[in-house]
Structure 1
Amino acid sequence: MTELSPLDTGFMEMEDTDRHISLGIGAVAVVAGPPPTREEFRAGVTRGLRQHGRLRQRVRRAPLDLTAPVWEDDPNFDLAHHIRWTALPDPGDETTLRELIATELTERLDRDHPLWEVVMVDNLAGNRWAMIVKAHHSMVDGISGITLFESFCDPAREIPDTRAEEAGRQPGSGVLEWANRVARLPYTAPRFAVSAARALAPVLFSAVTPSTASSLNGSIGRQRRYAVARASLTEVREICAALDVTVNDVAVAALATAYRRLLLSRGEQPEAGMLRIVVPVSMRTADAKYALDNRVSAMIAHLPIEIEDSIERLAAVHDRIARHRSRGEAEAEKSLLSLADWLPFGMVAWIFRTVARFPQRGVGALATNVPGPRRPLWLDGREVLEIWPCIPVALRVRTTVAILSYADRLTFGITGDYDTTPDIDILAAGVAAEIDALLDHARTRRPLQLVSNPGSPPDR
């Protein structure tokens, strides 16, 4: 048995607090050729079971939440609980698949069993089929979620044994361990407090201070919509080389354009400081690549949706993200989560439940950029053509975007609340159009002035 970290536990508390949300993270493979037989498909899933012991474990909570929940082996583990087969109705096109994905994003995973499932989808047009892999956010983050997906694919090399990595946090000895931590706190807390307070101040300010009201933040229902935007990674890298920016800069700038178009289509005028976006940052080291857990922190930045010019908007994105990284906000937030280890678990759970109930009005979007497999993948001898990432919405954030690279493609998986985002396709179209526009600029070698936009909110 191993303990859940405070962040892992936080995702479970958030889901328990809001009946409208399901915190499953997904990856959808679009695969060429006829679908596999049931025996072939089960063999691939079984291969993943051998690589990740966590897939056989469920979460067990202590009475009255006196200690942290633990992962324990499911005594009734049955692979049939975790595999489903379905088929798309005609015409079986991409729209139909996206509707199925949106439905899957609403379904909660069964807490009585390990928190993952795989769905084989037949009757996809163009002689294709699909596989949906979904796991709870308490089990995986974006990178480990893709690692889980890869484990079901045909092997290219031997995958390391991850049992030692997944052992991580061993169960504590309750009150005695907590007392020992508290006794050391006077010696360790001052060193943490001084370095973290300066970096965390702007993050906490952005999280609790309401931004300019917009339709991007507000109550959400139980149903979802899902859209996809695609870009050539080769062309994105051409933009990066010509304009001296990163792939992440280009992706976030494309999102800024997409949200600007969405607001304008709704009759809302984009303003400086109107859209704060959460950008998760991976804290995962190379030797922990194959561990199924959460190792993320986050930054909160303003998207420059008020800027009309594409090049100026990209420059503002580059400048702002660099500024947030230089302040060490993600590292400070990670340290803050580590500090939660010193508190009694009941208090940690109460804090997360309180945050989940708090009607936050400061953040309007979330975007995460996950580096995916560079080599082509195969499932049961069939080529994986595309991988679409899927993440949930929660905490009054009505749209979220997962950006995933795979081979020579960059894919934006956009999740939206069904009732308040009927125009979700505007976001997908805006992303594609902006990357095309930036590519045109890159090929004309227009210089990029990396300075902050004068109208941007002041650094706090």
Structure 2
Amino acid sequence: MTTGTGELGSTPSEMNPLETMMWRAEVDPRLRSPVIILDLLDTAPDWDRVVASHEWATRFVPRLRERVLEPWGDWGTPAWVPDPDFALPNHLGREKVTCAGGWRELLDLAASMALTPFDRERPPWEARIVTGLEGGRAAYILKVHHSVADGLGLVQILRMLHSGVREHTDHPDHPEPDRHGPSRWGLTVTQAARAVVGVPTRAAGVVSAGAGLLGRLVTRPLATVSDGSAFLGSALRAAVGPVVPRSPLLRGRSLERRFEALDVDLGALKAAGRAAGGSLNDAYLAALLGGMRRYHRRFGAIPEHLAMGMPVNTRDRDDPVGGNHWAGTRFAAPLGDADPVARIRHVREVVRRTTGERVVDGLGLIAPLLAVLPPPLLALIQGGATSANDLQASNVRGMTGPAYLAGAQIVRSYAFAPLPGGATMITLTSHGDTCCVAVTLDPAAITDPDAFVEDLRAGFDEVLALAPAR
């Protein structure tokens, strides 16, 4: 498999099955996969330094100068190839709000960017500096297609754009990446040839595996059958997940998106988790479920469980910058616990049981099969699965120390993840001593966003109350 150029940008040029699914499923606009990073800055950054840092980052991570090329007739795997016409102004811009813009205006601007599809003939990312906010503040909004990188991959890329000091520092020289790549026909021929050449190797592998299985059946028949049955059962549970009825309150779905955000003390949330015998993630999930419980109680009955999805990080230290390295899990999240301590312990056990399965990455198992389907059929299957989730949650470790963008300090950083047909996606990103909680919701499902945010805050407050006084 060929690779791109650049020390930190050396990634396989072909999309993996998971990235292929996210890219091709967008024939259904509900399944678009933009990730929006919203950084709140204490002042307007220096524009020339912003341009220089992005120019350098696109040289150091060639993926940012690559577009997606589909083989002829979609027979094969999409590949990342250099964009021969790459021009930074097509991806980086700035604007000033007409009057002293507040937080709501900024969130709405970011949400409007998420609703606009990418130009699929160019590298799928764009960034914008927004000035004119209240108090002389500014913002940096980065929009990236999920196929480029997952949450941790984006944090890695952002570290290249950010600095640990406010003063200007020179970037090391790095040559401009290659602008030449294969044509659509050339990619098709290459993949077809590789598939034909690989047939003997794959056949030998199947024969070898079959011989090994036959040998184990002869020497250890009961153990082999039992082991195979356990593996199959775990794989089915991971791939299919529990059958949880969709909440009647959250049934609506639309193409609209609304962004909300709130801040939580990182140390207090960790302490609350420990006080109840859990972790930061357990406390975070329990707070979300507490908010969901309150929102349901506000408008009607509280279901015993909620269909919930959560990605699990599978990234290794040696994995290159960017890319996607995660496993998707799905479980029945408990809403019946009124006591936050009981809820933390309950959700901890549910997550431990789910992530402790012999096979965790059920999506990874079936992704190679789904990725080769015609895009409309892929979107139908994928949308049917993800739209069943009433809540999706993610927890990403962000910046631990002070961070600056072209002379402006980043005081908050929120990661709004895509919402592929579900009711709401909530992401926690740590930033210094603060948890920045970014909420992407479908207003057709969450019909009273203000009430939902109020209930979400109350869910965090009841969990944070468990933390010992500091």
CA shift, 1:181, in A, is 5.8
Letter in 2 for 1:424: P
Partners of 1:248 and 1:29 lie apart in 2 by 23
Question: Equivalent residue for 2:128?
Answer: 119
Q: Is 2:71–2:78's contact at 8 Å kept on the other side of the alignment?
A: yes
Whether 1:12 and 2:23 are equivalent positions in the alignment is yes
CA shift, 1:154, in A, is 2.2
Describe the superposition over 1:236-267 as per-residue Cα deviations: whole angstroms up to 9, x where unpaired. 12213323311110110011011112222222
Letter in 2 for 1:245: G
Give 1:379-390 correspondences, 5 Å limit. Answer: 379-390=405-416
Match 1:243 to one of 268, 276, 285 = 276
Whether 1:32 and 2:42 are equivalent positions in the alignment is yes
Question: Equivalent residue for 2:384?
Answer: 358
- Aligned in 2, Cα 1:429/1:69: closer, same or farther, shift over 3 Å? same
Give 1:137-156 correspondences, 5 Å limit. Answer: 137-154=146-163
Letter in 2 for 1:199: S
CA shift, 1:376, in A, is 1.5
Q: Is 2:151–2:396's contact at 8 Å kept on the other side of the alignment?
A: yes
- Aligned in 2, Cα 1:23/1:443: closer, same or farther, shift over 3 Å? same
**Partner SS, residue 138 of structure 1:** coil
Q: Is 1:11–1:138's contact at 8 Å kept on the other side of the alignment?
A: yes
**Partner SS, residue 441 of structure 1:** coil
Partners of 2:114 and 2:435 lie apart in 1 by 21
Match 1:201 to one of 214, 228, 236 = 236
Partners of 1:345 and 1:362 lie apart in 2 by 20
Match 1:307 to one of 337, 349, 358 = 337
Partners of 1:21 and 1:205 lie apart in 2 by 19
Question: Higher mean Cα deviation, 124-133 or 320-329?
Answer: 320-329
Whether 1:185 and 2:169 are equivalent positions in the alignment is no
- Aligned in 2, Cα 1:14/1:217: closer, same or farther, shift over 3 Å? farther
Whether 1:406 and 2:431 are equivalent positions in the alignment is yes
- Aligned in 2, Cα 1:311/1:49: closer, same or farther, shift over 3 Å? same
Whether 1:256 and 2:289 are equivalent positions in the alignment is yes
Task: State percent identity of aligned pairs.
Answer: 21
Partners of 1:214 and 1:265 lie apart in 2 by 14
Describe the superposition over 1:7-56 as per-residue Cα deviations: whole angstroms up to 9, x where unpaired. 0000012212x1244311121110112x1343222112113213211001
Describe the superposition over 1:250-290 as per-residue Cα deviations: whole angstroms up to 9, x where unpaired. 110011011112222222x11223x11001011101222x5
CA shift, 1:195, in A, is 6.2
Question: Equivalent residue for 1:270?
Answer: 302
Letter in 1 for 2:83: D
TM-score normalised over the length of structure 2: 0.82
Partners of 2:110 and 2:379 lie apart in 1 by 28
Partners of 1:12 and 1:138 lie apart in 2 by 7
Whether 1:393 and 2:422 are equivalent positions in the alignment is no
Partners of 1:430 and 1:319 lie apart in 2 by 24
- Aligned in 2, Cα 1:217/1:282: closer, same or farther, shift over 3 Å? farther
CA shift, 1:188, in A, is 4.5
Question: Equivalent residue for 1:53?
Answer: 62
Unaligned runs of 5+ residues in structure 1 are: 164-170, 446-460
Describe the superposition over 1:329-385 as per-residue Cα deviations: whole angstroms up to 9, x where unpaired. 424543554xx2xx6964485763341353766421211111111111111122110
CA shift, 1:442, in A, is 3.2
Letter in 2 for 1:23: S
Q: Is 2:264–2:436's contact at 8 Å kept on the other side of the alignment?
A: yes
Letter in 2 for 1:276: A
Partners of 2:288 and 2:425 lie apart in 1 by 11
**Partner SS, residue 86 of structure 2:** coil
Partners of 2:40 and 2:386 lie apart in 1 by 36
**Partner SS, residue 29 of structure 1:** strand
Whether 1:369 and 2:390 are equivalent positions in the alignment is no
Partners of 1:19 and 1:344 lie apart in 2 by 18
- Aligned in 2, Cα 1:443/1:391: closer, same or farther, shift over 3 Å? same
- Aligned in 2, Cα 1:107/1:181: closer, same or farther, shift over 3 Å? farther
Question: Higher mean Cα deviation, 307-316 or 69-78?
Answer: 307-316
Partners of 2:122 and 2:230 lie apart in 1 by 41
TM-score normalised over the length of structure 1: 0.84
Give 1:151-230 correspondences, 5 Å limit. Answer: 151-154=160-163, 172=191, 173-177=193-197, 179-180=199-200, 182-183=202-203, 184-188=205-209, 196-206=231-241, 209=243, 211-221=245-255, 223-230=256-263
Q: What RMSD, in angstroms, separates the aligned Cα atoms of the two structures?
A: 2.9
Partners of 2:299 and 2:143 lie apart in 1 by 33
CA shift, 1:438, in A, is 2.4
Q: Is 1:22–1:107's contact at 8 Å kept on the other side of the alignment?
A: no
- Aligned in 2, Cα 1:321/1:20: closer, same or farther, shift over 3 Å? closer
